[in-house]
Amino acid sequence: MLNISAILTYMLLAVVVVSIAAVYFSSVRRLHAKGARRALLRRTQTPDDLPAPSAIAFDAVVIPDAAGANGETWHDVSTAPSGLIAFSIGTSASRATDDGAGGAAAIRSMLSEAAGSSADPAEALASVNRRMYATDRAATALVGTIDPRSLEITYAGAGHAPPVFADGIGGAAYGEPGGFALGLMPVASYRSYTRSMAPGEMAVLVTGSVGRTFVAGTREERLRKIVAVHAAAHTPSPAKPILHDALTSTPCDVTTLVAMKFVGNPEVSDGPSGRSWRLDVRDAEAATRLRRTVVACVRRNAPETDTLASEIVIGELINEILENAPGLVDVTLDWHSEPARFVVEHAGATSVADASAVSFADGGARGRYLVNVLAEGLRVSRTFEGRERVEVDLPQSGTASSARVRPNHTAAL
């Protein structure tokens, strides 16, 4: 009897162990499936690939709380068929799935569709509000459009924090507040506001505990000041630094921040001598865009020039302006002259003409050295308006100045 009892006891223990193992592995599979579903929904509601129009630079960051509940928030930026850039950001107060991400993703989809089909953000909010009232969903949201040509931003809010607008020279202010949150009443009216932005300025959208209920208190004032500082410093990718500084002494559960830097489109004019551009160059992004635009035009219209050497000359001249006299710049490319000529006019003073005796090994003056070595007929003068005018003849393929950049100088770059 003792042997039989022992055998039965061992069998019972084995069944218990197997049952516990089955429950454990089943739970692990459910957690992995839930995590995969949550990750998919987050990718849907917080797109990684934001559009990159030439006039606006977008940057975004999402910081979840310890429980990973950022499924309640979303942001979206897309290009509408009209050419306008549509954006939305918000927080869902409903939970269509066990982690809440489904509700936010569905609301984001409705807002994106409405914003893309309507030129008025207020009408888009009213349309989505009617649809949401018939469900158990509610949300705060901020939607809008940006005209990449005029840099006009039009926005409307529904119970959400307004944008923070920074002028790029130390000032910042919140935009106009919005109406009721979405889904709370069958009919709600919203109002759109339009603001003209200028190159060098920034707009910041935020959600989470900072933006869920907007009250002009200490936390919002801190955010405004931080945005002003980073806009004035022309921080290259400002979203993460702004959010880091804002949350240093203000913890929050869920936060999404979208920064939109307005860099502007160059004003382009064609004349008998070639093409001219006018652009406010106040940060590295604007300078890079201008350089790429001019170099692309050189490749298309002046094939006899040495592209590599010309790109170095053009880039270094623009960098000199950025470092010494940032502001409004007039650039002309005359591809009808022999050789092609590059002209820059600006209201400052550079040092490109003062480096004729500088050695290539002097790192701080290396750019000015390359301009003097590669550029044919470098001339610096003043216009009647007092602006500095720098003219260079771009190096042509096969010339002695073009050969100087190969191979030794390029190896040292």
Q: At what angle do helices 366-374 and 307-324 cross, to 10 degrees?
A: 130
On average, the pLDDT of the chain sits at 75
What average pLDDT does the segment 188-214 reach? 79
8 Cβ neighbours under 8 A, 6+ residues apart:
none
- Residue at 335: amino acid letter: W
**Nearest C-alpha neighbor of 320 from the set 380, 275, 233:** 380
CATH 3.30.565.10 describes domain 267-412: yes
Look at residue 310 and tell me whether its pLDDT is greater than 70: yes
Per-residue pLDDT tens digits for 47-103: 555 555 567 888 888 876 533 444 477 888 888 777 888 898 988 865 444 444 456
Domain ranges of the chain: 40-262, 267-412
232 by Cβ neighbours in 10 Å (0-12 / 13-18 / 19+) ranks as: middle
> What span, in angstroms and rounded, lies between the C-alpha atoms of 340 and 395?
8
Look at residue 187 and tell me whether its pLDDT is greater than 90: no
Q: Beta strands of 41-162 (E only): which ranges?
A: 56-63, 73-79, 85-92, 139-147, 152-158
pTM of the model: 0.60
Strands 201-208 and 255-262: antiparallel
Quote the Cα angle for 166-169-174, to 5°. Answer: 20
> What span, in angstroms and rounded, lies between the C-alpha atoms of 261 and 259?
6
Q: Any idea of the CA torsion for 270, 272, 278, 283, to the nearest 10 degrees?
A: 100
Per-residue pLDDT tens digits for 123-166: 989 988 988 888 877 888 999 999 887 788 999 999 888 999 99
CATH 3.30.2130.30 describes domain 40-262: no
Range from 153-167, 198-212, 245-259, 397-411 carrying the lowest mean pLDDT = 397-411
Q: Which two tokens stand for residue 281?
A: 């160059």
Higher model confidence: residue 160 or residue 270?
Answer: 160
Residue 276: strand pairing partners: 269, 332
> What span, in angstroms and rounded, lies between the C-alpha atoms of 291 and 312?
10
Report CA 407 to chain centroid distance, whole Å: 37
What average pLDDT does the segment 249-270 reach? 71
Q: Which pLDDT value is given to residue 42?
A: 46
What average pLDDT does the segment 234-241 reach? 86
Q: Which two tokens stand for residue 137?
A: 């969903």
Please count the residues of the chain: 413
Look at residue 214 and tell me whether its pLDDT is greater than 60: no
Q: Which pLDDT value is given to residue 153?
A: 93
**Nearest C-alpha neighbor of 254 from the set 399, 112, 63, 119:** 63
> What span, in angstroms and rounded, lies between the C-alpha atoms of 227 and 281?
20
